[in-house]
Amino acid sequence: MTRKQTRLTIILVSLALVAAAAGLILYAIRDTIVFFFTPSEVTEKHIAPGTRIRLGGLVEKGSLLKTNGTEVSFTVTDGSGIMKVRYNGQLPDLFREGQGVVAEGAQGTDGVFVADTVLAKHDENYMPKDVADKLKEKGVWQEGKGAGP
Amino acid sequence: MTVELGHFALILALAVAAWQFAVPLVGAHNGYTSWMEQGRTAALIQLLLIAFSFAALTNAYVASDFSVLNVAENSHSAKPLLYKISGVWGNHEGSMLLWVLILALFGATVALFGNHLPATLRARVLGVQGAIGLAFLLFIVFASNPFLRLVPPPIQGQGLNPILQDPALAFHPPFLYGGYVGLSVSFAFAVAALLEGKVDGAWARWVRPWTLLSWALLTIGIAMGSWWAYYELGWGGFWFWDPVENASFMPWLVATALLHSAIVVEKRGALKIWTILLAILAFSLSLVGTFLVRSGILTSVHAFAVDPQRGLFILLILATFIGGSLSLFAWRAPSLKVGGLFAPISREGGLVLNNILLCTACAAVFIGTLYPLALETLTGDKISVGAPYFNLTFGPIILPLLLLMPMGPLLTWKRADAYAVMQRLWWAALIAIAMTLLVLVFTQRGPWLAPVGIAIGCWAIFGGLKDWMQKAGVGKVSLNTAWARFRGLPRAAHGAVLAHAGLGFVVIGVILLSVWKQELITVMKPGDTKSLAGYDITFLNEEPLKGANYDGVSGVFRVMQQNSEVATVKSEKRSFRPSNMPTTEVGLVQGFFGDVYIVMGDAMQDGRSVRISYNPLASWIWLGASIMFLGGLLSLTDRRLRIGVPAPPRPAPPAMALAKPAE
């Protein structure tokens, strides 16, 4: 084989592999990404029940309910909209009423959001950026104090 | 006072970095020998200054000097000594100081032990290192200074984030940074080679140990981070495809590719241009990682600083070094001489395929990591790209690499016979298939990925074993001779086998833990017993807990298997002073074949919420990673690569290729 042929082989093999990978990436990006919404956006944008999303906002004070088993429920609010969330599992250490939260899952046909993952902020001074940004848009956020009432 | 001296030393280091950057490069360009030599002096002074500065900051931490803003914000007098020290790099400013300390250490190593490098190459490498040091020291002094004073000093500090107070995490940053920064040496060699206009086998022999060192440190650093996530975060996972994890994984992938392509440059003089590009890319991804983690653009436990000015500064450094080196590459690379010929099926061909697959895998991770950022900037939509994306893209791309891996070392240079290689590996393939069948027989139902994972892992492990036997000549010569040959193998050969086999363990651990994991979320009162995966777990009682800087409650669990006690473990809920931040400690029973993982949660209506999981083969992940790390270290001690040992002057590279045909 000459240098040219070797190079051509390498280039063709690389191109084939890269093309296959690119196809895979495009397919995966379309199918697996999860959008982030606050409760009022879910209503505004008519997100169909069953669509997997990340729901973010503040945990409404006094809304945390522990049932008989391991299931908990709480309400997420962004100031203008609210949505009830049901979750079967352990809440993260930093989950608190009145604090930011992100729940991943889908809305059921009864309007209750069923979460399979609940994330809370990582430390005392930190609010999930997505939540903070959205709350700023809604005007619920007060700089320096964190979230308002 | 020491703090001021440390601050002063840091500013001096900045000036020395400018000196180390400019003088040797100008000297190398014009052929001034004395100017070139100044690079070495500057690099040594640089190390002394930064080491002093770092020691001064550490001293302030150990002495709990809260008049220093950085100490007041990140330390607390009641913290154990280990975490006072690790607190130095447990924050943005201190971690950047650690970054330049490691950079200076590596620069000084090149200066001290680079006797056999051509003078111009050495001067240029040190010059490029000086430039990197200069950029980061400017950043530290002007945008992230750890030596700022606080008036009036508070009586007590705010403490370190409790989830960072952990032994594995204390050493995770130094190892990871060692890897990131080690790649700066490979980068400096690549840029220097472009300036020189010459790349040869001797150059590759210099780049390889540095890449190897970085790779080994990155491997163990990432493994430590993952181990920490596994038992400290309490979510039961070990890898979340979190952007900050990806930030360290991308340089690892490219460093792995670089490690392999440098072999081709060293032995065969081919792939020079590609190797230079990889060296540039590997360090660029380290910088991208630093940017992603340190700029606050991503929110995570790593994002200490959410300060747009800092992000902009790092972005500027990023643009300068990546843009500059790539421009230089575009300008100078075409003038490099191309090396040896090879057929597509050959050792070289195999390594090219390895490189293509690793880089494609890295591209998939890169896109998944940066796509959300790009999309939010362009459209304002907020999305998250999670594990499903990475499993769907990274998995299929890396699968052929894992399948081809055991064959690579058995291919011959220049032209190889794939059929002959398969003939040698048939029994490794047989074991892999037999294990797969065994799994299928004993687990009638279950995810198809489990047998596949076992097959791939066994294939890698036994393929490595075969490589060893092949080189020792087992079956062809008497056992005594084979043993003697085995002991006579270059350490790099052992290293390669260990690294490949270690990866086999990691693959088995990762896949089986993912698909065979059993989990139970329940409510338990003291005295209750639950069963999972053949274990009976009894919640004995709750005890109050008192630590050096935390209080809390611990749940005591007894783990039994077939009526004999395996262990009694505690899962704790801690509340740290002074922040009142709660954390959870996992009750973990580790075993070779699987871990019992118990997390006590909140009090529910009738008892405590308890999550119990059985994680099969979890420890194999870290066992495998440690084997890979050891393989890297062993390779590094190879006579031919050992840094600092006077090597006889090397003539042309082809002579080297002949010297070790066995590899």
Are B609 and A35 a contacting pair at CB < 8 A? no
Query: Who has greater pLDDT, B471 or B620?
Result: B620
End-to-end CA distance of chain A: 75
Q: Which alpha helices (H) appear in B114-242, and where do they start and end?
A: 119-143, 167-196, 201-232
Which structural domain, as residue segments, surrounds residue B445? 409-516+620-633
Neighbours of B659 (CB within 10 A): 11
B326, two tokens: 């790539």
pLDDT at A126 over 60: no
Given this model, what pLDDT does residue B642 score?
52
Q: In the numeric block, which tokens belong to residue A117?
A: 């993952």
Which of the two residues, A5 and B299, has the higher pLDDT score?
A: A5
The Cα–Cα gap between B19 and B279 comes to 25
Q: In angstroms, what separates the C-alpha of B130 from chain A's closest C-alpha?
A: 36
Q: A91 CA to chain B: closest CA distance, Å? A: 8
Of the candidate ranges A12-26, B138-152, B376-390, the one whose mean pLDDT is the lowest: B376-390
Quick one: B354 and B375 in the same domain?
yes
Would you say residue B136 lies in a domain? yes
Q: What is the mean pLDDT of residues B138-150?
A: 90
Give the pLDDT score at B104.
95
On the question of pLDDT at B509 being above 90, the answer is: yes
Q: Inter-chain contact A68–B606, Cβ cutoff 8 Å?
A: yes
Asked whether residue A62 carries a pLDDT value surpassing 60, the answer given is yes
pLDDT at B500: 93
B214-228, B315-329, B469-483, B549-563 — which is least confidently predicted? B469-483
pTM of the model: 0.90
Position A141 confidence tier, pLDDT thresholds 50, 70, 90: low
If asked whether residues B393 and B316 sit together in one domain, one would say yes
Instruction: Report pLDDT for B248.
Output: 92
Is the pLDDT assigned to residue B437 strictly greater than 90?
A: no
Q: Which residues have a Cβ under 8 Å from the Cβ of B479 and sit 6 or more positions away? A: none
Q: Is residue B484 assigned to a domain?
A: yes
Q: Is A143 on the interface with B (CB under 8 A)?
A: no
Residues of A in contact with B382 (CB under 8 A): 35-36, 54, 130, 133-134
Residues above pLDDT 90, as percent of chain B: 42
Same domain assignment for residues B380 and B303: yes
Residue-level pLDDT at B376: 79
What is d(CA B534, CA B74) in angstroms, rounded to the nearest whole number? 45
Write down the pLDDT at residue B98. Answer: 94
What does the pLDDT look like over B396-412, one tens digit per residue? 999 999 999 998 888 88
In the predicted model, is pLDDT for residue B258 greater than 80?
Answer: yes
In the predicted structure, residue B559 carries a pLDDT above the cut 80: yes
Same domain for B450 and B558, yes or no, is no
B50 plus B152 within the same structural domain: yes
Three-class SS string for B467-519? HHHHHHCECCECHHHHHHHHHHCCHHHHHHHHHHHHHHHHHHHHHHHHHHCEE
Quote the mean pLDDT of chain B.
86
Please answer yes or no on whether A33 and B385 come within 8 Å at the CB atom: yes
Q: Give the Cα separation of B288 and B274 in Å (integer).
A: 20
Burial of A46 (0-12, 13-18, 19+ CB in 10 A): exposed
Backbone torsions φ then ψ of B489, nearest 5 degrees: -65, 145
- Same-domain status, B387 and B497: no
Query: Which residue in chain B is spatially nearest to A24 when comparing CA positions?
Result: B393
Question: Is B188 within a domain?
Answer: no
Q: Which residue did the predictor score with more confidence, B292 or B586? A: B586
How many angstroms away from the CA of B546 is the closest CA of chain A?
Answer: 18
Cα–Cα distance list, B217 to B180, B337, B369, B543, B611 (Å): 9, 33, 23, 40, 34
Summarised one tens digit per residue, pLDDT across range B613-652 is 999 999 999 999 999 999 999 998 887 655 444 444 444 4
Are residue B42 and residue B104 in the same domain, yes or no? yes
Give the pLDDT confidence score for residue A102 in this predicted structure.
87
Evaluate if residue B31 carries a pLDDT over 60: yes
Closest A-chain CA to B371: A29
- Categorize the per-residue pLDDT at B444 as very low, low, confident or very high, splitting at 50, 70 and 90: low
Q: Kindly report, residue by residue over B123-136, the tens digit of the pLDDT.
A: 999 999 999 999 99
| Pairing of β A113-120 and β A82-88 | parallel
Residue B543 and residue B468 share a domain: no
- Tell me which chain B residues have a C-beta less than 8 angstroms from the C-beta of A6: 341-344
Q: What is the pLDDT of residues A68-119, one digit of tens each?
A: 778 899 999 887 889 999 998 888 887 888 888 889 999 988 889 999 888 8
Could you tell me the pLDDT band of residue B660, with boundaries at 50, 70 and 90? very low
A36 and B382: CB-CB below 8 Å?
yes
The answer to whether B51 and B136 have CB atoms below 8 angstroms apart is no
B76, B546 in Cβ contact below 8 A?
Answer: no
Is the domain of B214 the same as that of B299? yes
pLDDT for res B308: 65
Q: Which residues contact B517 (CB under 8 A, 6 or more apart)?
A: B236, B613, B614, B615, B616
Q: B355 in a domain, yes or no?
A: yes
What is the average per-residue pLDDT within B71-84?
Answer: 87
**B660 inside domain:** no
Q: What pLDDT is recorded for position B644? A: 42
- Evaluate whether residue B342 is within a structural domain: yes
Instruction: Report, as an integer, the average pLDDT of B252-256.
Output: 96
Asked whether residue B491 falls in the same domain as residue B590, the answer is no
Q: Distance (Å, rounded) from C-alpha B297 to C-alpha B301? A: 12
Q: Is residue B650 part of a domain?
A: no
Q: How many domains does chain B have?
A: 4
In this structure, are B76 and B152 located in the same domain? yes
Residue B300 confidence (pLDDT) = 47
Which ipTM was obtained for this model?
Answer: 0.83
With respect to residue B84, please indicate whether it lies within any of the assigned structural domains: yes
B388 contacts in chain A (CB < 8 Å)? 28, 31-32
B400, B447: one domain: no
Is the pLDDT assigned to residue A125 strictly greater than 70? no
CATH of the domain at B88: 1.20.120
Which residue of B293, B300, B373, B393 is the best one to mutate when testing the A interface, meaning the one whose CB has the most A CBs within 10 A? B393
